[in-house]
Amino acid sequence: MAFSMTPLLNGERAVVLFFITSVLISLPFSLLYHGLALSLLTLSALCIEIQAESSNSLHQFKTRPGASSGILLGAITLPAVMLAKMIQLTRAFSSNHTGLEEIETWTMHFWSTSTCCLSVLMLLWNAMHESDVVSQTRFHRLWRLKLGLGCKILYGVVCYSSLATMYPNVVRMALMSSWILCHGLVASKLIQHLLSTFPSCASIGEALLVTAGLVLYFGDMLGCTIAKMLGALSSSELVSFQYMMNRSEISPIIQGLLLGLLLCPVVFKHHRWECILNTGNSEAKKYFEIRRSMIFFSVLGFISIVVAPSWMMLVHEFDTHPFLWIISFTFSEPLKRLSLCVYWLSLICASILRFYNISRSSKIERILLRKYYHLMAVLMFLPALIFQPRFLNLAFGAALAVFLALEIIRVWRIWPLGEPVHQFMNAFIDHRDSEFLIVSHFSLLLGCALPIWMSSGYNDRPLAPFAGILSLGIGDTMASVVGHKYGVLRWSKTGKKTIEGTAAGITSVLAACSILLPLLASTGYILTERWLSLLLAVTVSGLLEAYTAQLDNAFIPLVFFSLLCL
């Protein structure tokens, strides 16, 4: 045999395959093509991961030390999320609770993300082929070439067949196919850029998840821009009508802010400053630090106040400046929303002061200290999600923008905040962070926010928006605390996760759900959750937390959300 049985049957792959099987079993016949595409993606990712880890043939990519490649988990997570959401919307369409437009929107998201993932997989396949080309015979080289080409052709046929049922017009279908293909091409370039720009900061699976998410997110922004600029012209068929749908004001505000912040380092980047800052003249260095800081904040302010709002007003017809709209939206329910802001700020200040002092003077394990922030996420987000979900959506975007701005300031060492922010963040990092890029707080925030954002519109599963808060704030925290203090039986000889910790995490989430469901029913939610399905979702996400060596804050909420939608 080419591979031993041990790498074929490790815990992470077994849990991921069970997760995919659960999604595929739940598919209605109308989503057959999507199921075939996800199956092909899963098989391709599994084969590439096994070969990559058994032969170390992807050593040219500088990935995070100590982590497995995570190719299978990274390749199937986002497509599975999109497919689970489509299953949910198909139920709604059959009962006349939603229109065909929303299903087609998520269909485009599914094919865009799956094409991104398949494109990256083909890139990895070619990289493995090139790394050991000397030791291969001509037969093996031809076999690899034919297998890769056959995979692309089969996926293309499945994708084309699915789009043909959605777009009978041949020209429109060709344009949409090209649009989806562009997502794949951009993804294959972007992941190479991320892994080379941020070496040793992520595994391949983590980088793949980020790549597919960024391409989908900013592809949506580009689609909205093109659709708005072209208007009713025939060439507007380049993008789907999903980009012309009426959206809430919150979505373009968050997108514009994030785009502006990501553009800021590109505009600001000047290598000559680094040479000046490394000189021995302290007085000249201080002068250039101040000058550099002033230019940075000027660029940041101009992009945030002028450039980003201009794009927001282009894609959405705001009556006023977007920032004035935010103020007006906040004061539309001043007692509730301002009270919530005061509550958040008080909790953040008290927690930061308390935990930072503990991290400097105490012997408490850092992993336990980090879990306090998971509990803080529950205290912050749970009440807001129940009573003020729209305001929480906006607050998540604002928090993500603040995190991104602070990380840019920390990485670039912008005076006077760069060094203090760097020292503060270093007090909470673990082996999955690096001094170059700290991502744990991003993954925690996005892990809580993404299920909420993806539950907008029709949602017949009341617990789905709570997937991140439950899995990270309660399940992951209890698993870590109980496992660290009382765990004896380990899942594997080399791993640190214990059976006691996993059991505590699963039990705590089920207990939280038993309290949350009656509370949601009292606020007007119509409960459709089935306890058997809920038990399956909680157990699978708990086992994934136990077995995965990836950044679990990023993957577990998405897997839990997907299973709740089925």
Give tens-digit pLDDT for 29-60: 889 999 999 999 999 999 888 888 777 767 77
Is the per-residue pLDDT at 375 higher than 80? yes
Average pLDDT along the chain: 82
Instruction: Return the higher-pLDDT residue of 457 and 17.
Output: 17
Is the per-residue pLDDT at 116 higher than 90? yes
Task: List the single range of 206-210, 251-255, 371-375 with lowest mean pLDDT.
Answer: 371-375
**Tokens matching residue 557:** 């909420």
pLDDT in the model for residue 413 = 82
Task: List the single range of 20-24, 283-287, 384-388, 534-538 with lowest mean pLDDT.
Answer: 283-287
pLDDT in the model for residue 351 = 79
Cβ distance 426 to 435 under 8 Å?
yes
Is the per-residue pLDDT at 557 higher than 90? yes
Q: What's this model's pTM, rounded to 2 decimal places?
A: 0.90
CB neighbour class for 395 (10 Å; exposed up to 12, middle 13-18, buried from 19): buried
User: Taking the CA of residue 53 as centre, how many other CA atoms within 13 Å lie in the half-sphere pointing to its CB?
Assistant: 22
Is the per-residue pLDDT at 2 higher than 60? no
Q: What is the pLDDT of residues 57-71, one digit of tens each?
A: 677 777 877 777 889
Q: What is the pLDDT of residues 166-181, one digit of tens each?
A: 777 777 778 888 889 9
Q: What is the pLDDT of residues 327-371, one digit of tens each?
A: 999 998 888 899 999 999 998 888 777 776 666 655 556 666 777
Instruction: Return the higher-pLDDT residue of 496 and 207.
Output: 207
pLDDT in the model for residue 357 = 67
How many Cβ atoms from other residues are within 10 Å of residue 451's Cβ?
Answer: 27
How many Cβ atoms from other residues are within 10 Å of residue 178's Cβ?
Answer: 10
CA-to-CA dists, residue 143 to 53, 140, 155, 303, angstroms: 20, 5, 18, 51
CA 482 to chain centroid: 27
Is the per-residue pLDDT at 24 higher than 70? yes
Rounded to the nearest 5 percent, the helix, strand and coil shares of the chain are 80, 0, 20
pLDDT in the model for residue 242 = 58
Domain boundaries of the chain, sorted by first residue: 11-248
Residues above pLDDT 90, as percent of the chain: 27
User: 310: Cβ–Cβ under 8 A, 6 or more apart, which residues?
Assistant: none
Q: What is the pLDDT of residues 121-137, one digit of tens each?
A: 988 888 877 755 555 56
pLDDT in the model for residue 290 = 80
Cβ distance 11 to 492 under 8 Å?
yes
Q: What is the pLDDT of residues 224-264, one digit of tens each?
A: 887 777 764 444 444 455 555 567 788 888 888 888 888 87
**Tokens matching residue 538:** 């909680």
pLDDT in the model for residue 3 = 43
